[in-house]
Amino acid sequence: MLLTNKDITMFEHYFQCPYCWEEISMLLDPSVKYQAYVEDCEVCCNPIELHPRFEELELLSFEASSIEQ
C-alpha cells in the first residue's frame, strides 16, 4: 500500500516475522532503490534484517531475515 502526503511517500508492507511468525507491517521508503537495515519486530521486539528493493515506487523484492546472535 502506497501512503503519500505532500512531502513524503511511504510504502506499507506486510510480512511474517522470522522469529514469532506474526504478521507485521513496516513503512518502507521507496525513494531509495536498494536498502539494507535492521528494525525490531513490533510484536516480539527481535531484530529483523530487511532488504527491500524498489524501482519507480514499486516494490520489486523484499527479504526479512533473523539476525543470528
Question: Is the pLDDT reported for residue 5 higher than 70?
Answer: no
Beta-bridge mates of residue 26: 13
Query: Which whole number is the average pLDDT over 6-24?
Result: 90
- DSSP state for residue 67 in the 8-state scheme: P
The count of C-alpha atoms lying within 13 angstroms of the C-alpha of 55, restricted to the half-sphere facing its C-beta, is 2
CB-CB contact of 35 with 52 (8 Å): yes
**CA-only gyration radius of the chain, Å:** 12
Question: Is the pLDDT reported for residue 15 higher than 70?
Answer: yes
| Res. 50 pLDDT band, cuts 50 70 90 | very high
Domain ranges of the chain: 2-66
CB-CB contact of 13 with 2 (8 Å): no
Question: Is the pLDDT reported for residue 63 higher than 70?
Answer: yes
pLDDT in tens, 18-41: 999 999 999 999 989 999 999 999
